Every structure is written in structure tokens, then in C-alpha cells.
Homo-oligomer: A and B are copies of this chain.
Amino acid sequence: MSNDRLIYLPLGGAGEIGMNCYVYGFGPQDKERFIVVDLGVTFPDMDSTPGVDLILPDIQWLEARKDRIEAVFITHAHEDHVGAVGHFYGRLGAPIYTRAFTANIARRKLDEYGVGPETVTTVSAWPETTKTGPFTVGFLPISHSIPESSALVIDTPGGRIIHTGDFKLDETPGVGEAFDQDLWKSVAKQSVKALVCDSTNVFSQHPGRSENTVGPEIEKLFAQQKGMVVATTFASNVARVKTMAEAAQRAGRSVCLLGRAMRRMVEAAIETGVLADFPKVISAEDAREIPRENLMLLVTGSQGERRAASAQLANGKYMGLSLSEGDLFLFSSKTIPGNERGVIKIINQFSELGVDVVDDSSGIYHVSGHANRPDLERMHDIVKPQIVIPMHGEHRHLREHVKLCENKGLQGIVAVNGMMVDLSGNAPKVVEHIETGRTYLDGSVQVGALDGIVRDRIRMALNGHVIVTVIMDEQGDPLGEPWCEIKGLAETGTSNAPLVEVLEHDLGQFLMRAADKTLADDDKLEGELKRITRQVTQSEIGKKVEVTCVISRLS
């Protein structure tokens, strides 16, 4: 009997949507060889991560075992799957394998960190496979909202795993490979140990719609317009970008791409041969010279991102172009939960300009890139795995996906980030809980989510900040009055005197009367100064503030 075991360990993406990072291991316990599937990021928000630039998985566990990592495989080029390759290459150093389009994007990211293009090996689709350690990995094409998305067929001595990546079942995806049921059936002929499966849309009851249902509707919409047409979608949704560009062309409009991501994605798609016949695009300079009824702008910012082209146009102007009464702005996209405020703000700004905004509320100008509930069931039926492990979902999605499986007699397990699952036996078994979490890219440094750095920033934002400076002379006595500065607080409170003066007065009184023992002890003195400061602000302005004390001792 073999000592080897086959393990699955999500470090990101299981219990959340975003920041995907999955580890598969095979070998004797604590000597397993690993492959990593996807290195993604997720995005910060003001509520929980103000000032943070990007959120990355916590890969400390993996880093401590980097000599056991065979390779990293990237399923597709969305940020939540490929976004961390540049930030982590220095820490993991493993070779990266992916298909051409994704490789193009990954290499650009690595280049920003000075890592050469040879780090990424471009592989072809199934039946080509890559052998690395005990793993043989093939990229099985699957439709999604970005070119060349692939499931991974991971063969190990412990059995075959199919890791779906993000997917939908689209037989007419517009750009890229259609879902090929026969191909999938042929792969599933060999018994599949585990299907590790996208769960995003498990709550959507109807079968998903094909990308090709969107084009005719968009074309109708564009054909009716008399003013300028502006449309946004995820730049990486190359099929949609192409659909809209072609609709514009047929409506006699020149196409102008605005926003770095929009130009870069089309460029990558053309470079890698994914996109063959994209309409000719014009520059922003040329666009300014064209009558608005003959122009369409394809812009970034479908999620209301502050610095994207859509937000700048809503503010008035971008690259010399501006919208006005009678123009149309189309969101060919879904607003990701949490981004509503930003999107609604833009819609209202356009409304003030007299621009008509059309979003996906009618359901006809956008389709999802993820498999809906009936599509998930179809996938289960095609693959017929011994066990389904839902991933790419919040806890509610994973749990619902397992319920869906169990209702039809399929084995399923909810495994969230940090749960190491042993797949060697007939039933999956959680064998270890790894400490996982999030790493923040903050400016140019990576900091831990639990370091307290962001917590302090949130506290300053909620409570304001008082700085108390006290100078102690050579004898250990206070030299003059304490000095206070406030930041983010009302200048005047209930007593109608400036808050700073009330603070300095009360702190000064305390210093005058304080015992020598207190004055001599920095910690004790600081504790008292903070307590009094909070007491004063509570009574003056009703807030318990953050306090920083600077005690300088002359010597």
C-alpha cells in the first residue's frame, strides 16, 4: 500500500469570489510535491481596506515549502486568477504554464517586476499536456468571458482531477473556443476522482444564455441612436468588445478605444491570434474630429472605477471627448456587489449631462460568464466525478453547490480557504487547517491583513486623530504647556471654546498636579494623557478619538 496522498488546499477563492489560489499536492505526507492553480488578486474597498492598492492571498505556507512547488498553472487571464503572478514571483519562483493569451497578459505583469518572459511557458490546449513531478496537466478549453479560458485536467497517480476554472457552457461564444461537449465527454471517460467546480452562479435558476444572444440586441440599440454612443464592459471580455465594435461599424460609426486596459486587451488578443478581424479603431485625437452620430467610444470603467474612462467622461471630459444631451451610454456589464455606489454615481452624472444610460436591468445587453445552476448540473452529469468540490464562491455558494450535488446523490464537500482535503480515500477528508488570510499590497510593500496597519487607518477615519506633545525638562518636569494638534475633528465643541484649547488646558492641569512617579514613567504618562484626551473629546464633541502622544525628554 502506498504512503502517497493526493491533497487539495485552497489558499484563496474558496469562501470568497476573487483572489483565486489553489494547491494540489501528491506524495508522502509532508513531502508532497505541489502544483499551484492560479495566483489571483482581489480588490480593496474603503470599508475594510482603505488605502490598500491590491489584496493578495497569504502564501506564507506555500513560500515556506517553495522547494516542493513544481509549477504554477493559470486557467485564464482575469485579475482574480492571474493578477498576483508579478507580485509573487519573487517569493515562489516557480515556472508558470498557461495558454497564449493568458501568457501574454502574465508576461506583461511579470515584466513590471523585471521578470523575463521565459518564466512563462506557453502551452497548447488539450490533448497536449505538461508533465511536472507526479502531475500531468492539460488545458481543456471551456467558454467563459475571456479568451482561452481553460479547465485543467490534472492527472496524478492518485487519480484524475478536473479543475474547471471559471466557466459557462456556451456553444456560440463569439470569440474563442465553443464549449465542446464531446471533447469533455471523452476526457471524462477515464474516471474522474474530483471535479473542482466554479460555483458563482449556483443561485441562478435558469440555464445561462450564450454570448451570441447579446449582439443582435446591441446592434438594434446602436442603430436607433442619433447622438454619440459610448459603451463599457470588462475590457477582457474580448468577445463583447468585438460584438460592440462590429455593431458600431454596421451602424456607420467609427470605433475609438478609451482606457489603457481596453487597448491592452484588444492588443493582446490580436497579438495572440485570438482576435482576427477586429474593426479598425481610431485615436481619441481623430475621434474629436468625427461627427458624434458617426462615433462610438468603447471605454473602461464598467464597475464605476474612479479613474477609469467612464468616470472621467461622467466628470465632464476624457482625452478631449465629452458627452452631451442625446448621447447614449451603455453598461454592457453587471455591477459586482459592492460597486453599486460608484456605478450609480456615474449614471447620475450622465443624467445631469442629459445622457441616456442603458444598463443590464433589462437582461438583454449582457450575459454572465459563469455557469448557472442547470449548467452546473449538466457539468456534473458530463464529468460524473466521484466527488464535487465547489470553489469560486462565497460560503453560501459553496454550501448551496454541495446541497445541489447531494440532492442528486453526488458526494460534495464544502472546503474553504485553508482546509486541506485528502482525496486519497473514497470519501474526502479534511486533514489539516492551514492559517490563511490576506496580504495587502500597500503602496510598494506587502503587509499582512492582521498587522494592524489598516486597522489603525480605519480608526483614524472613524474617530479622528489628536496628537499630544509634551516636553519634559532635564529635571523631569513638564516644560511649558502640552501642545495639541487635531486632524479630522470639529474645531469647536459644546463649550464653544476651541477644542484644542480645552484639551491643552485640561492636559496642562493634569501635568501640574501629576505625581513625579507618573511623570517619570513614559508608559504611565502616555496612558494618562490619552485617557484625559478621550475624556475631553467625549464631553466636547461626543467622540472617543485616536490619540498619539509624543513625549520628549530633554537631557
Contacts and interface: CB of A to CB of B under 8 A. Distances in A.
Given A457-B488, A458-B461, A467 B543 contact: no
A115 interface: no
Contacts of A114: none
Interface string A5-45: 00000000001000000000000000000000000000001
Nearest to A347: B396
A483 B2 CA distance: 62
A51 B462 contact: yes
Nearest to A499: B445
Contacts of A467: 467, 548, 550
A91 interface: no
Contacts of A543: 51, 442-444
A467 B460 CA distance: 13
Interface stretch (A252-260, A285-293, A338-346, A373-381): A338-346
Contacts of A469: 469, 550, 552
Interface stretch (A267-275, A489-497, A511-519): A489-497
Assembly of this chain: how many copies? 2
Nearest to A362: B205
B348 A394 contact: yes
A548 B485 contact: yes
B541 A443 contact: yes
Among A50, A396, A479: residue with most chain B CB under 10 A: A50
A63 interface: no
Interface string A475-486: 000011001010
Task: Give 7 closest A-B pairs by Cβ, nearest first.
Answer: A444-B542, A443-B542, A461-B461, A457-B488, A443-B543, A50-B461, A51-B462
Given A51-B488, A552-B552, 15 more contacts: A46-B47, A46-B50, A46-B461, A47-B341, A50-B461, A51-B464, A338-B340, A351-B395, A352-B395, A444-B494, A453-B489, A457-B464, A458-B461, A460-B461, A485-B550
13 contacts: A51-B461, A348-B395, A351-B395, A443-B490, A443-B543, A444-B543, A445-B492, A456-B487, A457-B460, A457-B462, A457-B488, A483-B552, A550-B550
Interface of A: 15, 45-47, 50-51, 203, 337-338, 340-341, 344, 347-348, 350-352, 357, 361, 394-396, 399, 442-445, 447, 451, 453-454, 456-458, 460-465, 467, 469, 471, 479-480, 483, 485, 487-490, 492-494, 537, 541-543, 546, 548, 550, 552, 554
